[in-house]
Structure 1
């Protein structure tokens, strides 16, 4: 038995995002296919067709940007059967789309995200995220290739989660594919971390150090991580985070909060310190 941890980033382009988010979602191996098939079913039921394809991908910036909310409000909620028909027509022939077509597609996109998050709760999916507003680097002197501190924090929380399971279940890390040279750099940094640091060596007992890299447009787990990372970046605020939120995302923030994992550890002289799986890295 194992847990897959699908990991993606949001806000790394630094164009308009206020925070960078490294987000992972934990899905038990025997739940993964059920989640995938149900989400594909939601696509067809709500959008009338598979949105994911050669030219399209389910991503936060496609399904949750401000324009989607604006277009969704062009009309009152459209009845589901009509909405699905109009959304399908809009996807297949966008050049002929009317204002109502765009409203239907936008309403369907938002409903899809809501259903996705409710499904995550149903299958007890847990989320792990490191949030930062500047470039964060690990400063362990014994490392040559330095693993960013947001990665270190994320792996720490993942390790605690697996440790609390008190079984032989291991964590399999799955990353959204980067540019090839970047992927090589990350693999090297991870190898250094898991081999050359005491905490890394300890955590390699539960987290398999060598990750898989996949295409996000072909991998449902990465799409889930991307959507949640986007919601965190624009809608979730922890202590010390002062940037404004997008209030229209509050409904989705309320749906991801229960997906966080809480545990306790004795840290230094502090017994039973409360630790959450979503952290603001200062």
Structure 2
């Protein structure tokens, strides 16, 4: 038994996005196929066909952009029963799509995302993310990126808690975590593999976490892998809609409903610091303002 952590990112082009987000969705292996089947059924029911049957991909930048919400607000009546037919017509012949077809397709897109996060909750999925400020100072060290380290840390805490034996439950074999990345350009993929290996092999913290997280990541094509598509939508919604008290960038109010769904999919781990009394909460969505290592921060302090 295992938990797959499907990972994707949003906003790393540093253009319009308010935050850079590295997001992962954890799905237990025994629920993965059931979740995928229900998502495919939902896709057919809303779009009248598989949206991703051609060159289209269910990505946040495509199905949650502002224009989609504008189309959903068009002043033309659309019945719920007509949405699949209208959406399919718009997908099959977008150049000749009328106002009703555009509105039907917009409704289908928005309802699909809502259904997707609801199914994630149904199948006990958990969302993890590192949310990085666009102007966060970067590290010059050759170690793993801090956003990846935080993501692995939260995933490890989740697995650690999940595998904690309950009273009278016995000691079942531990369920491990398997990391699945969206495939990058090959040189970048090799770099990411190298950094991941170094983290799990060369650091004491990484070696401890390798007891539950398999250090060898897998790479897949996002357009062919449902789990990565879920991670992409989560990353987009977190960047543009999810906020904590420390995340002060303006959010798009039309994404508030999805942000509430994501909040319910977070995981809270309670941990104790060796030098402090009491437990503190570690949420699975981390906000990062500085990517530098502790040593780099100290070196940057002006002695004057």
Which interval holds the TM-score relative to the shorter structure? Answer: over 0.9
- TM value normalised by structure 2: 0.88
**Contact 2:76–2:100, Cα closer than 8 Å, also in 1:** no
Counterpart CA distance in 2 for 1:239 and 1:86 is 41
**Contact 2:36–2:226, Cα closer than 8 Å, also in 1:** yes
Counterpart CA distance in 1 for 2:243 and 2:15 is 20
Unaligned runs of 5+ in 1: none
Residue 261 (structure 1) aligned to one of 267, 270, 280: 267
User: Residue deviations 1:151-199, cap 9 Å, x none?
Assistant: 0001000000000012510000000001110000000000110010000
User: Residue deviations 1:126-169, cap 9 Å, x none?
Assistant: 00000001356567xxxx73211010001000000000012510
2:248 match: 242
2:89 match: 89
Residue 177 (structure 1) aligned to one of 175, 183, 198: 183
- Secondary structure, in 3 states, of the residue corresponding to 2:235? helix
Counterpart CA distance in 2 for 1:67 and 1:157 is 35
2:230 match: 224
Runs ≥4 in structure 1, deviation > 6 angstroms?
none
Q: Report matched runs for 1:113-132 at 5 Å.
A: 113-132=113-132
Unaligned runs of 5+ in 2: 164-172, 290-304
Q: 1:39 to 1:195 in 2, by over 3 A?
A: same
Counterpart CA distance in 1 for 2:117 and 2:125 is 9
Q: Report matched runs for 1:70-81 at 5 Å.
A: 70-75=70-75, 78-81=78-81
Counterpart CA distance in 1 for 2:108 and 2:225 is 21
User: Residue deviations 1:212-238, cap 9 Å, x none?
Assistant: 000000000000000011000001112
Greater mean alpha carbon deviation, residues 126-135 or residues 150-159: 126-135
Highest Rg: 1 or 2?
A: 2
- Secondary structure, in 3 states, of the residue corresponding to 2:53? coil
Residue 283 (structure 2) aligned to one of 256, 276, 279: 276
Q: CA deviation at 1:99?
A: 1.0
1:159 match: 156
**Contact 1:136–1:149, Cα closer than 8 Å, also in 2:** no
Q: 1:77 to 1:20 in 2, by over 3 A?
A: farther
Q: CA deviation at 1:76?
A: 6.1
Q: CA deviation at 1:203?
A: 0.3
**Contact 1:263–1:275, Cα closer than 8 Å, also in 2:** yes
Counterpart CA distance in 1 for 2:138 and 2:156 is 20
Q: CA deviation at 1:50?
A: 0.5
Count, aligned residues = 278
- TM value normalised by structure 1: 0.95
1:193 match: 199
**Contact 1:234–1:246, Cα closer than 8 Å, also in 2:** yes
Instruction: Provide the aligned C-alpha RMSD in A.
Output: 1.4
**Contact 2:63–2:110, Cα closer than 8 Å, also in 1:** yes
2:297 match: none
**Contact 1:136–1:148, Cα closer than 8 Å, also in 2:** no
- Secondary structure, in 3 states, of the residue corresponding to 1:185? helix
